[in-house]
Structure 1
Amino acid sequence: MVLVAVVLVVAVVFLVQDRWRRGAFVIGGAPLLASALRLVLPEVRVGLLAVRSKPFDVVTYAVLGGTIIALAATISSLGVG
């Protein structure tokens, strides 16, 4: 859980620096990382990443991360206007 939180802090740093697209990609990477960790870690080590069953958690985190990254890809890198 701490590793996922660190990724989110990095994303917030990008957002504060007006790097919206890069920050959105990193935010999308956090649930993908959570999905991978949930998949490979044993039940006793998974901590707060365990919400429901392992298959449910892995699929939900992966879909959430993929959706955020897909939306981040639609952000114009040239800015508004």
Structure 2
Amino acid sequence: MLDDHEPELPPEPPKSERSVVHVPYLVVMGVVLVGFVLIMMFRWRMGSGAIAGALLLAATFRAVLPPERCGLLVIRTRLTDIVTYGGLGLLITYVALTIT
């Protein structure tokens, strides 16, 4: 038998603060965009570093901000998001620094 338990969603912010909720996500995506531009300019190490930095920034936002302030950065549980964003950020940093 399947469990009918639904995950708890964070409470919806007041109407005046709805657009502010997505600021952390927009900041992270802005850094990713800078990374992609750098990669297209054949500065792939710097671009990869920017993308890694964006993932580490997402992990930081997820760790310090409450779920209702993280917007689209909230995908799974807090711990899972932090470990996933942080792990991928560190992995990309390692690859960018070690590949010749």
Task: With the length of structure 2 as denominator, give the TM-score of the two structures.
Answer: 0.72
Tell me, in whole angstroms, the C-alpha distance in 2 between the residues paired with 1:74 and 1:20: 13
Question: Post-superposition shift, 1:75?
Answer: 3.0
The alignment partner of 2:50 has SS state of helix
Tell me, in whole angstroms, the C-alpha distance in 2 between the residues paired with 1:75 and 1:10: 21
Please tell me whether residue 3 in structure 1 is matched to residue 27 in structure 2.
yes
The alignment partner of 2:94 has SS state of helix
Tell me, in whole angstroms, the C-alpha distance in 1 between the residues paired with 2:77 and 2:68: 14
Per-residue CA deviations over 1:23-75 (Å, capped at 9, x if unaligned) read 11111111100000001111111111111111111111100100010000123
| Match runs of 1:1-80 below 5 Å | 1-76=25-100
Higher relative contact order (CA 8 A, sep 6+): 1
Task: With the length of structure 1 as denominator, give the TM-score of the two structures.
Answer: 0.88
Aligned to 2:4: none
Identity of matched residues, %:
43
How many positions carry a matched residue from both structures?
A: 76
Matched residue type, 2:33: V
Q: CA RMSD in A?
A: 0.9
What stretches of structure 2 of length at least 5 have no aligned partner? 1-24
